[in-house]
Amino acid sequence: MIYGYTQEDVARAVVMGALRVKYREAQPERRPLFAHQIPPPTPFDVWLLLGGRGSGKTEAGARYTDDHAEGPPCLDGPVPHRIAIVAPSHDDAVDTCVRGETGLLQVNPRIAFRPGAALKADLTWPNKAEAELFGTFAPEDVERFRGPQHCLVWGDEFAAWRKLDEAWGMIEFGLRLGPHPHAVLTTTPKRRPLLRRILEEPGTEVSRAKTSDNPSLPEDRRAALYRRYGGTTLGRQELDAEILDDVEGALWQRSLIRYVDPPRRKVGAGIELSMARVVVAVDPAATSGEDADETGIIVAGVGFVDGNGHVLADLSGRKTPLEWAKEAVGAYHVHKADRVVAEANQGGEMVSTVIRTIDPSVPVTLVHASRGKRTRAEPVAALYEQRRVSHAEPFPELEDQMCSYTGQPNENSPDRMDALVWAMTNLMLESSWQDAGDVAVA
């Protein structure tokens, strides 16, 4: 045995290696891998590549997957490898892992890509190795992992998987083909307990890379990112690939955040949320353009029976006023909300005006901030300590802001957290709520 492979495996590897050399001679030469993109020595159970944005982690996953597919066969028979390629959604798997600028089709243009074709794998290599694409966004995505077996799993942006724990549990059951089935996980780190658990397991090999470790990035763009985010909590995570612990002095700790399915009730032939009230809270961005702040958009409700707060959705992002207004109005209808609650400080009447331009029937309550962010947020943090607020699912970006905000001078504006505070204040901390168009002061 050599690193878990038999002498027969090694002999087949020699033959396959010769075929790969012949193929590569007809293709443009690949550039050398950066140090952090070089795989660790085999065997390993998991290669975890923690990389900042643009560090080259997706390319590393694609090249490893391609090399594995053309390497020593894991299976006897016409299909030498069965591989799973998993991303936050199926579209992400297609757009990033396969068709992206550093995806599999760029790495090896001879791979046949037939997504969803009957009786065909999504991806087929010249040697008949096969790969299927998976998402991890919805419960039905998780169910797709029942049945398939694999010798390799490449999981991209692992820490951003919506159904992370459920998906990984099902993936592990099917990772059982070949002499040493294993996984490659490429991700920007986030505070996810499962990521920490895998990081500490003895069979895990870890590589780390900062955004600045990729010399291929345009220098001006890299410099702009570090000017804006260098040294901040978000920058340490997104650029320097740090897994951040709870921040001393922050209002929330990770242990305060609970995940609970919101209460539901049977209505006719269907099931719907059982909420006394639902609001869509908006914290508009104070700036515009490429480097604009995010607009926080949080959907939350208070239960009929339990009287507890439930965070239902985080729809925040960098959006124009028209874009966030459409998002807020859409969420109002989808979640059957009672009203939109929006901060008036930055936009004043513009906020209600732009929302009513989209749909004049949507009731809007404008809230005016007369106190500092931390002072406004403290009563909401207390609700979490009392276990009176839960999240319907993990909201990593929102939770990162909650668990890192201390209220220190010059701290980045926590737009998602602000929207959460407006929502919970309206739902649970006010004795009554204002009619549409009134201005509440908090």
Reported in sequence order, the residue ranges of 135-238 that DSSP labels E, i.e. its strands, are 152-156, 182-187, 204-209
> Could you tell me if 260 and 392 are in contact, meaning their C-beta atoms sit under 8 angstroms apart?
yes
| Percentage of residues of the chain with pLDDT beyond 90 | 53
Is it the case that residue 428 has pLDDT exceeding 90? yes
Is it the case that residue 442 has pLDDT exceeding 50? no
Among candidate residues 159, 162, 183, the one with its CA nearest the CA of residue 171: 183
> Could you tell me if 133 and 115 are in contact, meaning their C-beta atoms sit under 8 angstroms apart?
yes
The answer to whether position 319 is within a domain reads yes
Report pLDDT digits (tens) over 138-162. 889 999 999 999 999 999 999 999 8
What CATH number corresponds to the domain at position 400? 3.30.420.240
Half-sphere exposure of 318 (CA within 13 A, CB side): 7
Please indicate, yes or no, whether residues 20 and 166 belong to a single structural domain of this protein: yes
Report pLDDT digits (tens) over 73-102. 999 989 999 999 999 999 999 999 999 999
> Could you tell me if 161 and 136 are in contact, meaning their C-beta atoms sit under 8 angstroms apart?
yes
What CATH number corresponds to the domain at position 207? 3.40.50.300
| pLDDT score recorded for residue 7 | 53
Please indicate, yes or no, whether residues 346 and 406 belong to a single structural domain of this protein: yes
Is it the case that residue 117 has pLDDT exceeding 90? no
Please indicate, yes or no, whether residues 90 and 132 belong to a single structural domain of this protein: yes
Please indicate, yes or no, whether residues 212 and 271 belong to a single structural domain of this protein: no
**Which of left, alpha, beta for 317 (phi over 0: left; psi -120 to 50: alpha)?**
left
Please indicate, yes or no, whether residues 73 and 162 belong to a single structural domain of this protein: yes
Mean pLDDT of the chain: 85
Is it the case that residue 6 has pLDDT exceeding 60? no
Domain end: 238, 265, 296, which one?
238
Alpha helices in 93-161 (DSSP H): 104-107, 139-143
> Could you tell me if 384 and 256 are in contact, meaning their C-beta atoms sit under 8 angstroms apart?
yes
| pLDDT score recorded for residue 237 | 78
The answer to whether position 107 is within a domain reads yes
Please indicate, yes or no, whether residues 320 and 269 belong to a single structural domain of this protein: yes
Is it the case that residue 23 has pLDDT exceeding 60? no
Is it the case that residue 38 has pLDDT exceeding 90? yes
Question: What domain range is 193 assigned to?
Answer: 7-238
Residues 6+ apart with CB under 8 A from 293: 285, 286, 287, 318, 413, 415
The answer to whether position 244 is within a domain reads no
pLDDT band at 28; cut points 50, 70, 90? low
Higher-confidence residue of 413 and 130: namely 130
Q: CA 213, CA 20: separation in Å to the nearest integer? A: 29
Report pLDDT digits (tens) over 221-257. 888 888 877 776 667 778 888 877 667 788 898 888 9
Please indicate, yes or no, whether residues 285 and 218 belong to a single structural domain of this protein: no
Tally of residues, the chain: 442
Which amino acid, residue 260? V
Q: CA 416, CA 378: separation in Å to the nearest integer? A: 15
Please indicate, yes or no, whether residues 114 and 156 belong to a single structural domain of this protein: yes
The answer to whether position 55 is within a domain reads yes
| pLDDT score recorded for residue 138 | 87
Report pLDDT digits (tens) over 344-368. 866 556 788 899 899 999 999 998 8
Please indicate, yes or no, whether residues 49 and 187 belong to a single structural domain of this protein: yes
Q: How many domains are there within the chain?
A: 2
The answer to whether position 246 is within a domain reads no
Alpha helices in 403-438 (DSSP H): 415-424
